[in-house]
Structure 1
Amino acid sequence: MAKMGFSAQTSAFRPSSFYPQYFWLCRSGTRFCSFNASTKVFSRLDGSEPQSVNNLLSNGTLNVDLLELKRGSSYSTSQYDRSERRENAFMYPPLNKPSEHEIWSGGITAGHTASDWVKVTEDYKMKRRPFAINRSANIEILRQDKIADKDKSGRSNVYEGEGEGLSKKEREYVGNLGLARGTCVSHDRASVIHVRRDPESYTNDSEKKVVKQSQLMPQGVNSLKNYGHKGSITCMDSIPDEKDPDMTNGKSVSCDGYDEIITENIATAEATELRKRLSKVYDKVLVVDSITAAEQVVNMLTNQYKNHIHACDTEACIDLNFTHTFVANIDVKEETPVDHGEIICFSIYSGSGADFGDGKSCIWVDVLDGGGRELLTVFAPFFEDGSIKKVWHNYSFDYHVIENYGLKVDGFFADTMHMARLWNSARRTEGGYSLEALTGDSEVMSDAKRGPGEEVIGKVSMKTIFGRRKLRMDGSVGKLIIIPPVEDLQRVERELWICYSALDSIGTLKLYQSLEKKLLKRCWILDGQYKGSMFKFYQQYMCPFGELLVKMEAEGMLVDRDFLSEIERVAKAEQLVSAARFRKWASKYCPDAKYMNVGSDAQLRQLFFGGIQNRKDPNEFLPVEKEFRVPNIDNIIEEGKKSPTKYCKITLRKPDGVDIETDKYTASGWPSVSGDVLKNLAGKVSAEFDFVDEDIDEELTETATKRLSEENETPPSEDRDTSAYGAAYAAFGGGQAGIEACHAIAALCEVCSIDSLISNFILPLQGNHISGKEGRIHCSLNINTETGRLSARRPNLQNQPALEKDRYKIRQAFVAAPGNSLIVADYGQLELRILAHLANCESMLNAFKAGGDFHSRTAMNMYPHIREAVERKDVHLEWHPQPGEDGPPAPLLYAFASVKRKAKMLNFSIAIWETTVGLARDWKVSREEAQKTVDLWYSDRKEVLLWQDERKKQARRFQFVDTLLGRARHFPSLKNASSAHKAHIDRAAINTPVQGSAADVAMCAMLEISKNTRLKVLGWRLLLQVHDEVILEGPTESAEEAKTIVVECMSKPFNGENILRVDLSVDAKCAQNWYSAK
C-alpha cells in the first residue's frame, strides 16, 4: 500500500460515524485530496502516473454526479512515530453498511466507486469559479443516453483534454499534481457538498504544523447531496499562489464563494441531525423561478385555495426571525426595513390540503437575480387581496420590504409573535418569541395539526446549519462563528437553503394552528363576565392593533435635519467649554491634567482616587501616579524626538492632601467614577467657572458660556449656605478651593450629560439607516413587554429626554410636513386613575372627581396641617385667574413644595409598589422615616392596600394576574422562586394590572382614532405612541376639529364608552413640532 500523499506526517483517523466510505485529509493552507474506500486506496496523487482519460469520460461527459460508493474491503493506514522511531499501523474492518445515494431526484446504479479528486479554483476579480479535477482507476461509467436523463440542469460546461477550460495558473497547478490529462467541469453556480472538519487537530512533532481532517458529511439519508445547480459535486477551496507567503506557512486564505477568511464548517451531532430532518422538507416545496410558473401558482392561490389560511413568514440572517422573505443588503438590527433591503426569495405555505403539483403544498419563489422584481409583481393579486387570509411571524418586517417593491399588502389575519405573547407573556426569559424558539418548543407546538405520520419540524438555526468557524491567522480554528451572506447561501447551497427557508412558512402555519387552539381553550373574562375565548380577544383587539402599528411605522415622523445639525454644533461647543473648565481646574493640582481625556474612567479614577486600596483585593493598590498615552493635540515634541508624535505621554496623580470618600465600587473593586458618583461630588451647583482654556475658539466659547450662564444660577459666594455643595467641597478643604472643586466637577458632569444627548439622540436621529427616502424616521413599534406596553427601537423614540432635561429642545426636530400640523394628546395621571378604578378607592375617586391638582390633594389628605391651612384659606390648592385679578388671593399650595414633591413621588411609587428602601434612598432619609410617610399615604387609601394584598395572593395561588381587559401575565417560575425572586413577583403582581391596564386603554384609544371615519376624511393619521401620549399629523386647516375628535376618542376608548369609575383626562395641543405641543 502506498503511503499518503502528504509531505508532512499525518495521523490516521476514522470517525465513529464513518459514512460515506471515504474521507478527506487536509493540510492547512495547501489543498484537499480525497480517497475512496475501495481496495485500491491511498494512491499518491501528485507524481503518480496519470490514469487513462477513458476511465473518466462517457462520450466526452464527466460522470461525477452519478457515482455510487462501492462497499470497500479491509484497509489500513500508518503513521511514522519519530519519538519512538517506529511506524504505527491502523487496521479498519470492511464497510458493510448499505450505500444508498440520491442526486437531485433519481437513484444511482449500484457497483460504482467514487473517484479520487482534488479541487482547484480560479480567483478572478473577486469572482470565484469552482472546478473539479477528476482522476481515478476504478470507475464504471454510464452511457451518455442514461446520463442525459439525469442531467436536468443544462448549465454545465464540460472541458476535455489537457487542462482545457483552466486558467494558466490552474493548468500549472494541475500539472504539479500529476494530472496532465484531466477533466474540468465549471458551473454558472457552484454546487457544494457540505464539509465537516474533525474538531481534533493533528500536529507533526517536528514541524508543528496543524493537519486538519475532514469528512464528507451525510445529508439526511443521502450521503452525497447536491446543494447548488445540478452539476458536479465540488468543494470550496482556493488555489495556492506562489507569490502569497501565507499559503506556505499554514495561514488562511480567502474562502471561495463567500469573500471571507477560510472557515471551518460547524460539525456537531446536532447539525447533522438537523440537516437530516431539514432535507425532508424539500419534497413539499414547489420552486417557482419563471413568470409562467408564478402565474399558474397565483391563479391557484386566488381561486382554488382562496379560502385557505396562508403563512408568509419572514426571517433575516441575524438573530431576528422574520418571514419567509429573505432580505439582502440590510442590517436588521440597525436599519429600518422601510425603503431598505432587497428581497431574494419568499415562500407561501397553504396547508397540507393544498397541492400545487406533485403533492407540493409550499411555494418557494426565487427573486434573487434577473427578473426577480417582475416575478414578485406577478404575486400582487395574492398579496393585495384583503379577502385572502395571511398569517405572518413579525408581520412588520415583511410588510415593509414587500411594499418597498410597490406592492400593497392586505389580508392580515394574524401575527404569531403577538399570539404567542398573548398566550404566554413570560417567554421573554424562557426562550423568547423567535420563530426558532417557538416552533422548537414541544409545549408550544403541542396543538399543531399533524397528518398521518407527519413530523412537525421546528425552525432551524441559521447559525447551526450554515455557520462557519472563522480561522485564525495561524490557520487554527477560531471560536467566532460567521454566517455567509444570504445571497451566497441561496446560490451556493441552494437545495439546503430552499429547505431551510421554506420551513419558516411551514412552521409559521403550524405555530398559528397550535396557538389558535390554545387561545380557544382559554376563557376571556371582562369585568367578571365571560366574553368568549382569548382567541376572540386577539381577533377583536390585538390583531387590528398589530396591523395599525405596522401602518404607523410606515408613516414615520418627519425630522428637521438642519435643526439637528445646528444643535449638534451648539452641544459640541458647550461640551468643549465644560471640558476646558474641568481641565483648567485639574491642572492646578496636576499639570498634565491639561491634556487628559475627561471621558476616560481610568484617568478620572487616577486623578480622584490615586493610591486607594482595592476593595476586593487588599494587597492591590491604585498607584499614586500613573502614566497615560493621549492624543498629541498640541503637537508637543518629546525629548529626543525631532517632530511631534501622534500620541504623547502624561502623568496623572491625585491632589496632595485630598481624600475623597466613596461607597460605590466597580465589579473589579476599584472606586466608581459613574455619573451618580460625580454628581454626588459636585452637589447641586452650576457648571460656571471663572476661567476657560485660551486655545478654544473664542466665538464658540462666548456663545456656549452665554448659554450656560442663562441656564445656571451664579455660583454662591463663600458666605452663603454651602448645603448645595457636594462631597468634593469638604474633600478639598472647603472655602474657595472646595467651591471651585464642586463647580469643576459639575462642569465634568455637563460633559457627560451633553455627550449622552449627542450620542443617544442628536446624532442617531440624523442617520440614513433609520429614515426612508422622504426623510421621515420609521421606528419599529413592538408589543414585547410583559405588561403589554409598547416599546420602540431603531430609534427608540419613547426614550426622549425629559422636558426639564431637554436643554437642546430635541423634540423640536420632529416636525409636520409643509401644510400640516401635529396633534399631541396625552392622558393625565392615567395609571393613578386606573389604580383608583381597580382598587375602588373612595379617596382617590373623589380627588379625581373634584378635579384640580391631584398631587396637591394627596399632600392635603396626608398632612393635617396642610388641610387646616387650606380650610382656613391660608393657601389654595389651585387658582384660576379671573378678569382684573393680578394674582391669587392667598399663597398656593406650592408654598409646601417639598411636601407636594413627596406626595407626587408616593403616588407613582406606590402604584408600581416601590419599596421603602428605594424611597429612603431617593429621599435621602432613614428607612423608618420613609415607612412613616408611606403609612400616611395608606391611612387615607386603605382600599389600595387591600387590593394590592389580593393581587399578591392571586399570583401565588393561580400564578397569574390580569389586566383591565382580561390579558393575563403568568408567573411560571413562582413555584421554585427564591425569596428575592418572590418579592420581585409580588411587585410585578401589583404593577402589571396597573401598567397593563394603561396599555389596554392606550390600545383601545388608538383603535378608536384609527377607525374614526371623520378623521380619515380629514386626512389625519396616527404616527407614534409614547407611553400615554399619541401623535397625529394632518392638514393644518382641520387641526382644531381633529383635536376635538381625538380627545373624544381617547376619553371614551372602549367602543365609544368609558368603562372606568373615573373620567379619563386628556390634554391635547396642535403645533408645528413636537416640542411646541408639549
Structure 2
Amino acid sequence: MSSKKESNTAKTKSPEVKKPDGKLPGKGDHIFLVDGSGYIFRAYHALPPLTRKSDGLPVGAVSGFCNMLYKLLQDTKDEFEPTHLAVIFDHSGKSFRNELYADYKAHRPPAPEDLVPQFALIRDAVRAFDVPSIEMEGFEADDLIATYACQAAANGARVTIVSSDKDLMQLVNGNIDMLDTMKLKAIGPAEVEEKFGVGPDKVVDVQALAGDSVDNVPGVPGIGIKTAALLINEYGDLDTLLERAGEIKQKKRRENLIEFADQARISRDLVRLKQDVPVTVGLEEMDIKTPDPVKLIGFLKDMEFTTLTKRVASELGVEADEVPAAGEHPADAPVIVEAKGPTERGGAPGAVSPSVEAPIDPDAYETVTEPGALKAWLKEAKDQGFMALDTETDSLDAMAARLVGVSIATRPGKACYIPLQHGSGEGLDFDGNGTPEQISLDEALGLLKPVLEDPAVLKIGQNLKYDLQVLKRHGIDVAPIDDTMLMSYALDAGLHGHGMDELSKLHLGHEPIPFKEIAGSGKSQITFDQVPIPKATRYAAEDADVTLRLYMILKPRLVAEKKITVYETLERPLVPVLVDMEHEGVKIDRQVLSRLSGEFSQKMGAYEEEIYELAGEEFNIGSPKQLGEILYDKKGLSGGRKTKTGAWSTDAAALEELAAQGHELPQRILDWRGLSKLKSTYTDALPEYINKETGRVHTSYSMASTTTGRLASSEPNLQNIPVRTEDGRRIRTAFIAEKGMKLISADYSQIELRLVAHIAGVKELKDAFADGLDIHAMTASEIFNVPIKGMEPSVRRRAKAINFGIIYGISAFGLANQLGISRSEAGDYIDLYFKRFPGIRDYMESTKESAHKNGFVETIFGRKIHLPEINSKNGARRSFMERAAINAPIQGSAADIIRRAMIHMAGALSRVDLKARMLLQVHDELIFEAPEKETEKTCKLVCDVMSKAAEPAIALSVPLDVEANAADNWDEAH
C-alpha cells in the first residue's frame, strides 16, 4: 500500500467526469466498461513502433489506443446504443492480492521501455475523448469493472464489458455480457460455458483448481481446466469437492486435492473479483458525452495523428486547421488570485500574493528530524495562525493505518516533512547506523498535539477526514480545519473532480509527483514507510505546499461566488461528525450472519429440489443456457426473447415477466438467485470487515463523490443492504447494540415528496402533509376521483408510482413498464396528474428554463449543481439533463437537510447530557446507539432535531415527519 495521496478518495489519480443528477443508471440504460489495460497492450502489439516526428516520442500504443477507442464509440452507436461508458485501467502498484499471496504476478516481466512513457498519454487520450479514465491504488482494473458491472446490473441496467479477458468471464450473466472487439465476438453465458465447461458462476472454482501460470496463481498441481470443470460439475463447488476429496478414485488427483486444499482456497481468493471496491467515480458519472472539439482535436494534433484528426474533425463538424495543438496554448492555465494568505482564524484570506504562482520546487523542502526544528516550524504556524497539514500512512484504512509521517506548509514554497516511522532500508540511512534519523513518534505527537488542537491555529488540508481519523487514533482531535476538497466541491460540483492532483493541474498548472516515482511500481513497489526519507520529503511536503496554494485560490472564490454559507454550514462542520461516526463503527453479530448463511444455504437447497421437480430434471441452475432450454424449449413457455448469441435470455426481467404470468419455475429461480446474492454479498462477506481491535465494522463516507450532496458509504457499503424482501431485511438483524445499549433508527417519512410540495408550491400536497393524510391515497383520490375510504390497493399503488416517478422525471414508457399497463394509459395518468397539480408542471418547466439559461440548478440551501451538458445538441442527452435538473434540487435539498441534522445532533445530545452516539447514515435514516435507560428521551430529541433540521435557514411549508424506534438490532428498530 502507498500513502493516501493516491489511495484516498480526494487524492486519487482517477479523473472524474461528473454528472449532475446523482442517479444511478438503471433499466433501459446500457453501460460499456472498457478494459483499458487490455486495450493498451493490444494497441501496442498490433502496430509497428511509431514515434512523433517532432521529438521522437514513442506514440505507437497511443495511436492504436485512440483509433480503437474512436472505433468503439462509432461502431456501438447504432448496434448497442450505450448510454454510459468508462475506461478502466490497472493501477501501477500492487493490489490487495499481493497481501494474500506474495508471489502473485511475480513472474510478469516489466513493461517494454518504449511503452512506459505512453501510459500517461493514453490516460490523457481518454480524457480528451471526454470519457472517464478510472484506476484505484490497491485494486486491479478487473475489480473495478466487477464492482461497476454488478452495481449497474443490480440497478437494472445492461452491462457490456469490452474485453476478452477470461478472468472477467465470472461476471457474465443475463444482464452482463462481454465484447471482444478484436474478433467482433460477443461473450455470453454460453460462450463462457464453452470455454470453461461450467457456467459463469462456477468459473472461479474452476480457475482456483486449474491455477494460472501467467498471474502465478498456484491452483492444484495436475489439474487443468477440463479436469477442474468435470470435478466442479460433479461436486457442485470447490468447498464440497475439497470436503469430499477422499472419495476421488484417481490416487494422484485425490492426494493433490487433499495436500493442496489450502492452496486451492488461496487461489480462489486470488481469482475471485472484488465486487465492492470503494470506487470514487460513480456509474452516474459515466454518461456518454460529445467530446469538446478543441480539447480532443488539440490532443490529436499534439500527438501528430493526422489521419485520425481529420476523421474526428469531420465527425464533430469543425475545421481541424482552426484548432491549435494542445501544446500551443495553455489549456489549463492556472487561476491566480492576488492575496497574502489567511489572516483571520478560519476565515477567508486577504489577497493572495504572487508567491502562489511561484514555481513549485520539491528540492527546496526541509526534512525535520530534530525536535528543535519541529518546534520552530510549529512556532511559525502558531504565530501566523494557519498551516497546511498532511499525513502519510501505509494503508487505505484510516482505522488501521500506521502514521508514517506528517508534512506542514506555512507559505507557498515553504514546506517540510517530519518522518516518524520510516524503517531501515537502502537509501534510508541518515547517520550510518542502519536506521533513518527521525523524531520518535511519541515525542513528535507530543509537540504536534498542542498546535493541532489549538483553536487559534487553522489547519488546512485536502480530504482532511482521513488525516483526522488517523490522528484521532493517536489521541489528537484536530481543530479548527479548512478542506480544499470541500471548497472545490461547494464551488464546482458537476464540473470536474475534486482530488488534489486534478485541482493542482487545473488551478496551479502543476502536476504533483506521482507515487510511483518515489516508491516504484509493480513487483518492486515499496510501502511509504520504506521510501528513502529524502524522496519522501519531496513527495509529502509537495502535498502540503500544493494544498496551501489551492486554499489561497479557492477560499476567496467562496466569498466572491456566494458559496461560503454552503461550505460553512453543510461541508466543513460535517467532517468531525463523520470522523466520530466512522471511529465508533457498529457492532456485528457473527453468529447471526453465520446462522443466516446456513439458513440461506438450506433454503437454496430446498429451492433447488423444488426447481428440479418443477423442471422435471436436474440441471445447473446457474447456467442461463440450460435454464433457457428448460423454460422455453422443454416447457414451451411463451414470451421468451433471445440474445444476440441466439441463446434464450434468462435475465431478471425475463424471469419476472414469466413469473407475472403465473409460472412457478421462473419465480423459484428468482428466489434462488436472490438468496445466493444475499449470501455471497452480505452474510459471508460482512464478517471480514470486523476490525480486530474494536470488534466493530467501520464504514467510510465519501463527502464529494456525488453532485447532489448525498454521502456514499464504502468498505463496506452499508447503504445498499436490501430491505425489500424478508430475507434481505434479516441481514439487518446482525447489526446489534452493545450490552446495556439499544440501537435507534430515525427515518424521514417521504422527505423528497414533501420537498416537491414545498419547492413546487402545490397547495393540495402541502395540505395533505399538514393534515397527516396518506399522501398516495390522497393523490389517487385527486387524480382518479375515487374516495379514500375503501380504496382498492391497486389504485393507491398506481398513484404511488406516479408520485415517486414525477420526482425522477418518469416517462409514459417507464410508468407503463412499472405498472404493467399500456403506454397510452400511462400517459393519460401523467396528464391527469399535471392537470390536478399544475404547480408541479410549472416547477418543472421553470427549472428547465433556468437550467438552460444558467447551466446549473441549486438546492433550497444554495448548493450549486452544475449541468455542463444541459444545452447539448443531442436531443436524448438534453432531455436526460433536463430530467436531472428537475430532480437535483429535490434530492440535493433532502441530502442537505440530513447533513444539517447530523451537524446539529452532537450538540443537541450533549446539551441534555444524553450518551447516544450516531453510528450510521443510510440515505434518509440515521442510526444511533444509546444506553437502554435513555432510549425514550433520545428518540424524542432525535426526532425533534431531524424535523427542525432546515431551520432557521429555511422555513419549510410542509412538516418533516420523523419516526424513531429503539431495539436490540437494526431490523427491529427500523
TM-score (norm 1): 0.54
Alpha-carbon offset, residue 788 of structure 1: 1.0
1:662 to 634, 640, 643: 640
2:827 to 912, 917, 931: 931
Alpha-carbon offset, residue 460 of structure 1: 3.6
1:811-850 to structure 2, matched below 5 A, reads: 811-850=732-771
**Residue 363 (structure 2) pairs with residue 294 (structure 1):** no
**Residue 526 (structure 2) pairs with residue 485 (structure 1):** yes
Distance 2:764 2:385 in 1: 55
Aligned to 1:367: 421
Alpha-carbon offset, residue 746 of structure 1: 2.4
2:483 to 384, 405, 415: 415
Is the Cα contact below 8 Å between 1:963 and 1:996 reproduced in 2?
A: yes
Distance 2:776 2:568 in 1: 39
Change (3 A) 1:411 1:284: farther
Alpha-carbon offset, residue 773 of structure 1: 1.8
- Structure 2 segments unaligned to the other structure (5+ residues): 1-50, 57-101, 104-109, 118-213, 217-302, 305-325, 327-356, 424-434
Distance 2:925 2:564 in 1: 28
After TM superposition, the runs of 4+ consecutive aligned structure 1 residues lying more than 6 A away are 14-19, 277-280
2:540 to 497, 501, 514: 501
Change (3 A) 1:482 1:916: farther
Aligned to 2:512: 459
1:380 to 449, 452, 462: 449
1:765 to 686, 690, 698: 686
**Residue 623 (structure 2) pairs with residue 600 (structure 1):** yes
Is the Cα contact below 8 Å between 1:1047 and 1:1068 reproduced in 2?
A: yes
SS in 2 for 1:856: helix
Is the Cα contact below 8 Å between 1:412 and 1:547 reproduced in 2?
A: no
Is the Cα contact below 8 Å between 1:1022 and 1:1033 reproduced in 2?
A: yes
Is the Cα contact below 8 Å between 2:916 and 2:938 reproduced in 1?
A: yes
Is the Cα contact below 8 Å between 2:520 and 2:526 reproduced in 1?
A: no
1:192-231 to structure 2, matched below 5 A, reads: 197-198=113-114
2:960 to 1047, 1061, 1064: 1064
Change (3 A) 1:302 1:1016: farther
**Residue 574 (structure 2) pairs with residue 545 (structure 1):** yes
Alpha-carbon offset, residue 898 of structure 1: 0.3
Distance 2:852 2:679 in 1: 45
Aligned to 1:921: 817
- Structure 1 segments unaligned to the other structure (5+ residues): 1-13, 20-125, 128-193, 202-250, 254-267, 271-276, 314-323, 354-359, 446-455, 469-480, 524-533, 589-593, 610-653, 684-723, 726-741, 876-891
1:337 to 398, 421, 442: 398
Distance 1:200 1:795 in 2: 34
Larger radius of gyration: 1
2:674 to 742, 753, 771: 753
* CA offsets 1:353-384 (integer angstroms, 9 cap, x no match): 8xxxxxx5333424222775335434333333
Aligned to 1:677: 654
Aligned to 2:913: 1017
Alpha-carbon offset, residue 312 of structure 1: 2.0
Aligned to 2:471: 402
Counting matched residue pairs gives 625
1:43-82 to structure 2, matched below 5 A, reads: none
* 1:832 partner letter: L
SS in 1 for 2:459: strand
Alpha-carbon offset, residue 813 of structure 1: 1.3
Aligned to 1:775: 695
Aligned to 1:981: 877
Distance 2:377 2:807 in 1: 55
Distance 2:736 2:911 in 1: 20
1:502-651 to structure 2, matched below 5 A, reads: 502-523=541-562, 534-586=563-615, 588=617, 594=618, 596-605=619-628, 607-608=630-631
**Residue 352 (structure 2) pairs with residue 284 (structure 1):** no
Is the Cα contact below 8 Å between 1:367 and 1:375 reproduced in 2?
A: no
Alpha-carbon offset, residue 1045 of structure 1: 1.4
* 1:367 partner letter: Q
Alpha-carbon offset, residue 803 of structure 1: 4.5
1:432-447 to structure 2, matched below 5 A, reads: 432-441=497-506, 444-445=507-508
Same amino acid, percent of matched pairs: 28
Change (3 A) 1:562 1:279: farther
Is the Cα contact below 8 Å between 1:302 and 1:388 reproduced in 2?
A: no
Change (3 A) 1:536 1:935: closer
Alpha-carbon offset, residue 1058 of structure 1: 6.0
* CA offsets 1:470-506 (integer angstroms, 9 cap, x no match): xxxxxxxxxxx66713247603xx5444322322222
Alpha-carbon offset, residue 252 of structure 1: 13
**Residue 730 (structure 2) pairs with residue 809 (structure 1):** yes
**Residue 850 (structure 2) pairs with residue 954 (structure 1):** yes
Distance 1:582 1:1010 in 2: 52
Distance 1:955 1:963 in 2: 13
Greater CA drift, 951-960 or 407-416:
407-416
Change (3 A) 1:304 1:510: closer
**Residue 801 (structure 2) pairs with residue 897 (structure 1):** no
**Residue 938 (structure 2) pairs with residue 1042 (structure 1):** yes
Alpha-carbon offset, residue 838 of structure 1: 0.8
Distance 2:464 2:883 in 1: 33
* CA offsets 1:119-173 (integer angstroms, 9 cap, x no match): xxxxxxx99xxxxxxxxxxxxxxxxxxxxxxxxxxxxxxxxxxxxxxxxxxxxxx
Distance 1:426 1:279 in 2: 29
2:389 to 308, 312, 320: 312
Is the Cα contact below 8 Å between 1:278 and 1:499 reproduced in 2?
A: no
Structure with larger RCO (C-alpha < 8 A, sep 6+):
2
Change (3 A) 1:914 1:401: same
* CA offsets 1:85-119 (integer angstroms, 9 cap, x no match): xxxxxxxxxxxxxxxxxxxxxxxxxxxxxxxxxxx
Is the helix fraction higher in 1 or 2?
2
Distance 1:664 1:522 in 2: 54
1:723-738 to structure 2, matched below 5 A, reads: 724-725=661-662
Is the Cα contact below 8 Å between 1:343 and 1:368 reproduced in 2?
A: no
Distance 1:252 1:575 in 2: 34
Is the Cα contact below 8 Å between 2:417 and 2:540 reproduced in 1?
A: no
Is the strand fraction higher in 1 or 2?
1
Distance 2:566 2:52 in 1: 55
* CA offsets 1:25-79 (integer angstroms, 9 cap, x no match): xxxxxxxxxxxxxxxxxxxxxxxxxxxxxxxxxxxxxxxxxxxxxxxxxxxxxxx
Is the Cα contact below 8 Å between 1:948 and 1:990 reproduced in 2?
A: yes
* 2:503 partner letter: L
Alpha-carbon offset, residue 416 of structure 1: 1.9
Is the Cα contact below 8 Å between 1:287 and 1:366 reproduced in 2?
A: no
Alpha-carbon offset, residue 413 of structure 1: 1.5
* 2:769 partner letter: F
Is the Cα contact below 8 Å between 2:463 and 2:484 reproduced in 1?
A: yes
Alpha-carbon offset, residue 836 of structure 1: 0.9
Alpha-carbon offset, residue 1025 of structure 1: 1.5
Change (3 A) 1:15 1:756: closer
Is the Cα contact below 8 Å between 1:841 and 1:943 reproduced in 2?
A: yes
Alpha-carbon offset, residue 919 of structure 1: 0.4
Alpha-carbon offset, residue 542 of structure 1: 1.4
